[in-house]
Chains A and B, each alone.
Chain A
Amino acid sequence: MSSKTVLWLVGTTLIGAMYVAASAFVGGDRRLLLVGNTTDAHRQFELSCETCHAAPPFADAQASGKALNQTCRACHDDDLEAANDSHPSSTFRNPRMADYWNRLDARLCTNCHREHRPEISLPGAVTVASDFCVACHSEGDQDVRRVRPSHAGLTFDTCASAGCHNYHDNRALYEDFLAGHAAMPALAPKPVHALTARSRTFQRATGAPLAREDALAPAAVLTDDAALIEWSASGHAAADVNCDACHAANLPAGATPEDVAAHWVTVPSTAACTSCHRPQARSFAKGRHGMRQHPRIAKPRDPRDSLEDLGFSGVMLGAIADWLSTPPVPGRMTVGEARLPMRPDVPAHRAIDCGTCHEPHGVNTGQAAVEACASCHDGDHTRAYFDSPHHRLWQAERTSQAPPGTGVSCATCHMPMTEVRGTIVANHNQNDNLRPNEKMVRPVCLDCHGLSFSLNALADAKLIERNFTGKPAVHVESPEWAARRFIEAEDDTGI
Chain B
Amino acid sequence: MLTFTEEILLLLGDEDGAPLPIHQHAFECALAGAALMDLAFANRIDTDLATLVVTDPTPTGNPGLDRVLAKIGDRAGTTDTQTWIRLLTTEDAADIRENALESLVRRRILARRDKRFPWAFGSVRHPTVDDRAEGEIKARIERALLEDVPDPRDIALISLADACQILPGLFPDQAIENLAPRIARLRRMDLIGREVAGTISDIRQTIVRAARAQGQRYQKRLLTFSAAGVAAVVATVLAPRVPYPDRFASTALDDLWLGGFWQQWTGYLLLALSVAGLLCAMIVREKLAMRMVGSHRWRISHIVVGIACVLALFAHTGFRFGANLNAALMGIYLAALLSGALAGVVIGGLPRLRRVGFGNAGRLRRGLLWVHALAICPLPALLAVHVLAAYLY
Q: Which residues of A contact B (CB under 8 A)?
A: 1, 3, 6-7, 9-10, 13-14, 16-17, 20-21, 24-25, 31-37, 49, 53, 57-58, 61, 64, 104, 114, 119-120, 128-132, 134-135, 156-157
A32→B325 contact, CB < 8 A = yes
**Taking the nearest CB of chain A, how far is it from the CB of B291, in angstroms?**
21
Say yes or no: A119-B392 contact (C-beta < 8 A), given A21-B385, A35-B323, A36-B323: no
Instruction: Say whether B121 contacts A57, CB under 8 Å.
Output: no
CA distance A34 to B324 in the complex (A): 6
Given A6-B118, A36-B323, answer yes or no on A20-B385 (Cβ-Cβ < 8 Å).
Answer: yes
Extra contacts, 5 of them, besides A10-B377, A35-B322 (Cβ < 8 A), are A13-B377, A33-B325, A57-B392, A104-B248, A119-B241
- Beta-carbon contact of A3 and B324 below 8 Å: no
Give complex CA distance A338, B349 in Å: 53
Residue of B at shortest CB range from A7? B118
A129 to B246, CA, bound (A): 5
Assess whether B265 is interfacial by the CB under 8 Å rule: no
Bound CA–CA A37/B320 (angstroms): 14
Cα distance A104–B373 when bound, in Å?
A: 46
- What residues of A have a CB within 8 angstroms of the CB of B325 in the complex? 20, 32-33
Residue with the highest number of chain B CB atoms closer than 10 Å, among A33, A37, A131, A157: A33
Interface assignment of B272: CB less than 8 Å from any CB of chain A: no
**Residues of the B chain whose Cβ atoms lie less than 8 Å from the Cβ of A131:** 247-248
Q: Which residues of B contact A (CB under 8 A)?
A: 115, 117-118, 121-122, 241, 244-249, 258, 260, 320, 322-326, 370, 373-374, 377-378, 380-382, 384-385, 388-389, 391-393
Interface of A is mostly: helix
Distance in angstroms between the alpha carbons of A134 and B380 in the assembled complex: 44
Q: For B324, what are the chain A residues with a Cβ–Cβ distance below 8 Å?
A: 31-35
Query: Are B248 and A135 neighbours in the complex by a CB distance under 8 Å?
Result: yes
Q: Would A17 and B246 count as touching, CB distance under 8 A?
A: no
Q: Which of A33, A64, A157 contacts B389 (CB 8 A)?
A: A33
Q: A129 contacts which chain B residues (CB < 8 A)?
A: 245-248
Closest 10 CB pairs of A and B: A17-B381, A9-B377, A13-B378, A129-B248, A13-B381, A32-B325, A132-B248, A33-B389, A20-B385, A131-B248
Assess whether B323 is in contact with A37, with CB atoms less than 8 Å apart. yes
Q: Which residue of chain A has the shortest Cβ distance to B381 in the bound complex?
A: A17
Q: Which residue of A lies closest to B332 (CB)?
A: A13
CA distance A13 to B322 in the complex (A): 21
Whether B323 pairs with A6 at a CB distance below 8 angstroms is: no
Complex Cα distance A1/B115, Å?
A: 13
Q: How far apart sit A3 and B123, CA to CA, in the bound complex (Å)? A: 11
Which residues on B sit within 8 Å (CB–CB) of A120? 244, 258
Docked Cα-Cα span, A33 to B374, in Å, equals 23
> Closest A-chain residue to B382, C-beta based?
A17
CA separation between A306 and B377, bound complex, in Å?
29
Query: Once bound together, how far apart are the Cα atoms of A114 and B385, in whole Å?
Result: 22
Give B282 Cβ to nearest chain A Cβ, in Å.
Answer: 13
B244 in contact with A34 (CB, 8 Å):
no
With A33-B389, A132-B248: A3-B117 Cβ-Cβ less than 8 Å? yes
What is the distance, in angstroms, from B314's C-beta to the closest C-beta of chain A?
A: 16
Whole-angstrom distance between the alpha carbons of A13 and B380 in the complex? 9
> What's the minimum C-beta distance from A39 to chain B, rounded to whole angstroms?
14
Are A14 and B381 in touch, CB under 8 angstroms?
A: yes
Measured CB to CB, the nearest residue on chain B to A130 is: B246
Question: Do B385 and A10 have beta carbons less than 8 Å apart?
Answer: no
A134 touches B393 (CB 8 A): no
21 examples of A-B residue contacts, CB within 8 angstroms: A3-B118, A6-B118, A10-B118, A17-B382, A20-B385, A24-B388, A24-B389, A24-B392, A33-B325, A34-B324, A35-B322, A36-B322, A53-B393, A57-B392, A104-B248, A114-B258, A128-B248, A129-B245, A131-B247, A134-B248, A157-B247
Query: Which residues of B have CB within 8 Å of A1?
Result: 121, 370, 373-374
Give the nearest-CB partner of A33 in chain B: B389
Which residue of chain B has its CB nearest to the CB of A134? Answer: B248
The residues of A that contact B370 with a CB separation of less than 8 Å are 1
Q: Does the CB pair A9–B392 fall under 8 Å? A: no
What is the CA–CA distance of A61 and B117 in the complex, to the nearest angstrom? 39
Nearest CB of chain A from residue B190's CB, rounded to whole Å: 45
Kindly state the separation between the CA atoms of A135 and B341 in the bound complex, as whole angstroms. Answer: 45
Q: Is the CB of A21 within 8 A of B388?
A: yes
> Are A16 and B326 neighbours in the complex by a CB distance under 8 Å?
no
Establish whether residues B248 and A9, one from each chain, have CB atoms under 8 Å apart when the complex forms. Answer: no
Give A64's nearest chain B residue, CB to CB. B393
Contact yes or no, A33 B378, CB < 8 A = no
Cross-chain contact B378 with A16 (CB below 8 angstroms): yes
Closest to B323 in A: A36
- Nearest opposing residue in chain B for A16, CB measure: B381
Determine the distance from Cα of A9 to Cα of B122 in the docked complex, in whole angstroms. Answer: 15
Docked pose: A10 CA to B117 CA in angstroms: 12
Q: Which residue of A lies closest to B366 (CB)?
A: A1
User: B382: shortest Cβ distance to chain A, in Å?
Assistant: 7
Once the chains are docked, how many angstroms separate the CA of A132 from the CA of B388? Answer: 33
Residues from chain A with Cβ under 8 Å of B384 in the complex: 17, 21
CA of A159 to CA of B265, assembled, Å: 35
Asked if A58 and B392 sit within 8 Å, CB to CB, the answer is yes
Kindly name the residue among A34, A114, A128 whose own CB sees the greatest number of chain B CB atoms within 10 A: A34
Interface-central residue, A35, A64, A156, by most chain B CB under 10 Å: A35
Which residues on the B side are within 8 Å of A20 (C-beta)? 325, 385
Closest to A60 in B: B391
A9 touches B323 (CB 8 A): no
Complex Cα–Cα for A17 and B232 (A)? 29
Contact: B247 with A58, CB < 8 Å?
Answer: no
Residues of B within 8 A of A119 (CB): 241, 244, 320
CA distance A33 to B327 in the complex (A): 10
B246 touches A25 (CB 8 A): no
Name A14's closest neighbour in chain B (CB-CB). Answer: B381
User: Please, which residues of chain A bring their CB within 8 A of the CB of B389?
Assistant: 24, 33, 35
Interchain CB contact (< 8 A) of A9 among B249, B378, B388: B378
Bound-state Cα–Cα, A64 to B392, Å: 9
CB-defined contacts of B248 to chain A, threshold 8 Å: 104, 128-129, 131-132, 134-135, 156
A162 to chain B, nearest CB (A): 16
Name A133's closest neighbour in chain B (CB-CB).
Answer: B248
Residue of B122, B247, B248 with most chain A CB atoms under a 10 A cut-off: B248
List of A residues within 8 angstroms of B393 by Cβ = 33, 49, 53, 64
**Chain A residues within 8 Å of B244, by CB:** 119-120
Report how far A212 CA is from B326 CA in the complex, Å.
62
A3 touches B247 (CB 8 A): no
Residue of B nearest to A57 (CB): B392
With both chains docked as a complex, state the minimum distance between the C-beta of B264 and any C-beta of chain A, in angstroms: 9
Q: Which residues of B contact A128 (CB under 8 A)?
A: 248
Closest to B393 in A: A53
Which A residue sits closest to B383, measured CB to CB? A17
What's the minimum C-beta distance from B313 to chain A, rounded to whole angstroms?
Answer: 16
Q: Are A34 and B323 touching (Cβ within 8 A)?
A: yes
A6 with B121, Cβ < 8 A, contacts A20-B325, A33-B389, A120-B258 known: yes
